């Protein structure tokens, strides 16, 4: 699960650092479910997901938890660029249940 700081801009360098932390923890060949818990407002370059999909292949499914209209809009945009199974969730409990039960 990831929670990013308020009002940062997520670009390729940040995504790459997060990906490398995940690889260090679980290994490159593992398949994981990932939760983005958008408790803070931040921006993300949605095109980083295109590069991410080419460079890394360890996320099987992702849940994005949104808490307001802006979060929903940015989550919807992100979902369009992710190649994996993605669910937009209104609560962390919903996201955990979905990722846990997704094969």
pLDDT tens digits, residue range 7-63?
Answer: 777 889 988 998 999 899 988 888 888 888 887 777 778 788 888 888 888 888 889
Between 39 and 67, where is the model more confident?
67
Residues 6+ apart with CB under 8 A from 71: 38, 41
Please check whether residue 89 is in contact with residue 65, taking contact to mean a CB–CB distance below 8 angstroms. yes
Give me the helix-helix angle, 12-26 and 48-55, nearest 10°.
30
The per-residue pLDDT for range 73-101, each reduced to its tens digit, is: 888 888 887 777 889 999 999 999 999 98
- Alpha-carbon distance 37 to 102, whole Å? 18
**How sure is the predictor about 6, in pLDDT bands with cuts at 50, 70 and 90?**
low
DSSP-derived letter for residue 9 is: E
Whether residue 66 has pLDDT greater than 60: yes
Whether residue 5 has pLDDT greater than 70: no
- The pLDDT, as a whole number, for residue 8 is 73
């Amino acid at each position: 699960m990831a929670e990013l700081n308020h009002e940062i801009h997520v670009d390729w360098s940040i995504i790459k650092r997060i990906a490398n932390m995940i690889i260090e923890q679980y290994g490159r060949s593992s398949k994981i479910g990932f939760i983005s818990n958008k408790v803070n407002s931040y921006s993300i370059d949605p095109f980083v997901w295109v590069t991410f999909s080419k460079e890394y292949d360890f996320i099987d499914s992702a849940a994005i938890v949104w808490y307001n209209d802006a979060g929903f809009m940015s989550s919807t945009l992100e979902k369009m660029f992710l190649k994996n199974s993605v669910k937009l969730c209104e609560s962390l409990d919903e996201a955990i249940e979905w990722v846990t039960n997704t094969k």
